[in-house]
Amino acid sequence: MKSILKLKSLVYLVSIIFISSCSNDDNNGPVTGPADGMPDVEMSDIADLAIATDDLTSLVAALTRAELVDTVKGTGPFTVFAPTNDAFATFLDENGFATLEDVPVDVLEQVLLNHVVAGKNLSSALTTTYISSSSTAGVDGKALSLFVDTSSGVKINGATVSTADVEASNGVVHIVDKVIGLPTIVDHAINNPALSELVGALTADGNTTFTDLLSDAEGKFTVLAPVNDGFAAFMNPNSSDINNVLSNHVIAGAALAAADLSNSYANTAAKNSDDDALSIYINTDDGVKFNGASAVAIADIVATNGIVHAVDQVIDLPTVVTFAVADPNFSTLVEALTTLTPSVDFVSVLSSQGGAGSDPFTVFAPTNDAFSALAAIPDEAGLIPVLQHHVIGGANIRSGDLTPDGTTTTPATLEGDSFTITLPGTDGNIANVVDGANNDGIGIDVVDVQAVNGVIHVLDKVLIPNTSN
């Protein structure tokens, strides 16, 4: 499939070139002059330039087979990256095709379109960045991204421009030494030098688990790709398994563009010790941040099997404290756990993982609105047992562990009291809760926010313990 996708990208490019060359010949004025190896054709469009160039006959044949000639006859302007005959021959050989006729037409069309960009982009105007091709072979029918690398010459998704700035009446042609295949997520990572540390981590010790997974053309992924500086700054403070850390950058089953993101939780491919998928908190209040720290530097890099967002930091495995700090809905809870209760180091306790004795934790986290509903927040002596009544130590209790149609009495909280949870909930609640003081009307709004050292369920009211015992 990967080979077919690459071939499709090539065919599409050829067709675009041909169509553009056949479009209005006097669209953009006379050609300033032929480049080396190109014909001296006054007022030629892109298609005519390709037809008259001996080294682009395979491109013309591909455009013709894909029936894209009429398409590229449009007014444009277009920028076309035109593979040579040798490039096409290599492409066919690498993908197991004897001749151009063996390539499925629909694949060839998309490959060719992947060589065509809207607008007239002379080499002097190209910078190191991502641009969109005309191919809609990206995940969910999106336009594929092309990485332009101008650090040494000009490369487009790894294809080197050998002859630049062949101007035509409806755009410009840059001749390249490779067919630009339809890129998977791994292809994008390999082509961008700023992601070389990520590629190294993914393939360390000959491990191909990630590259095999993220090269799967049938998959659908959102990948948060740390740039090299982010890797350099990551000290792995918790000595976490690096493969699990890398998995924490992959959201499987969905290709989420920046426009699809909102303040919410998603599951990553990383796991806790019970093989539960870890959550990641997405915040879009000011740009896009993941787990409150790693920000998106480049968004919406589209591949055939997903979308990549380059991020500025490695996203470490989250603790329950990570989510409390990252989610602005818990700012009052964080204040209660820190500023209002200085005599107890709640943060250190709830950040612990692996051998701390009390983890994993099941935390029932009240929102800011839940705290606002209190007549008053207790003083430190009264607030400490209230906060402890929201935490169960030594258990990672997920919603699936509760009685599905009935009531579950929890293990004792850190304060000492238990409380009850009833499924299903009422009045829009996922579940109903009766706290240690026998207060009802408490609802669980969000469940199973999974950290590496425990799980969080979100409450709409603060739990009160039994103060008579």
- pLDDT single digits (tens) 359-380: 899 999 999 999 999 999 999 9
Task: Tell me, yes or no, whether 386 lies in a domain.
Answer: yes
Task: Tell me, yes or no, whether 399 lies in a domain.
Answer: yes
Q: Are residues 339 and 197 in the same domain?
A: no
Task: Tell me, yes or no, whether 140 lies in a domain.
Answer: no
Q: Are residues 170 and 83 in the same domain?
A: yes
Largest CA distance in the chain: 96
- Give the model's pLDDT for residue 3: 40
Task: Tell me, yes or no, whether 430 lies in a domain.
Answer: yes
Task: Tell me, yes or no, whether 469 lies in a domain.
Answer: no
Q: What is the mean pLDDT of the chain?
A: 90
Q: What is the CATH number of the domain that holds 102?
A: 2.30.180.10
Q: Are residues 211 and 269 in the same domain?
A: yes
**% helix / strand / coil in the chain, to the nearest 5?**
30, 25, 45
Q: Are residues 171 and 198 in the same domain?
A: no
- Round to whole Å and give the CA distance between 47 and 124: 23
Q: Are residues 153 and 206 in the same domain?
A: no
State yes or no: pLDDT of 8 exceeds 70.
no
Task: Tell me, yes or no, whether 408 lies in a domain.
Answer: yes
- Give the model's pLDDT for residue 43: 52
User: What average pLDDT does this structure show over 96-124?
Assistant: 96
State yes or no: pLDDT of 22 exceeds 90.
no
On whether the CB atoms of residues 463 and 448 are closer than 8 A, the answer is no
Q: Are residues 310 and 349 in the same domain?
A: no
> Could you give the strand order of the β-sheet that contains 221-226, starting from the edge strand earlier in sequence?
250-252, 221-226, 306-311, 294-303, 289-290, 277-283, 264-271
* 167-206 exposure pattern, b = at least 16 Cβ within 10 A, e = fewer: bbbbbbbbbbbbbbbbbbbbbbbbbbebbebbbebbeeee
Name the amino acid, one letter, at 129. T
Q: Are residues 151 and 167 in the same domain?
A: yes
Q: Are residues 278 and 354 in the same domain?
A: no
pLDDT band at residue 45 using 50, 70 and 90 as cut-offs: confident
Q: Which domain holds residue 390?
A: 322-459
- Per-residue pLDDT tens for 281-312? 999 999 999 999 999 999 999 999 999 999 99
User: Could you tell me which residue, 173 or 207, shows the higher pLDDT?
Assistant: 173
Q: Are residues 176 and 27 in the same domain?
A: yes
pTM, full prediction: 0.87
Task: Tell me, yes or no, whether 137 lies in a domain.
Answer: no
- Give the model's pLDDT for residue 76: 86
Q: How many domains does the chain have?
A: 3
pLDDT band at residue 342 using 50, 70 and 90 as cut-offs: very high
User: What average pLDDT does this structure show over 327-333?
Assistant: 98
State yes or no: pLDDT of 33 exceeds 80.
no
Task: Name the one residue in this structure whose structure tokens are 């976490």.
Answer: 240
**Within 10 Å of residue 432's Cβ, how many Cβ atoms?**
19
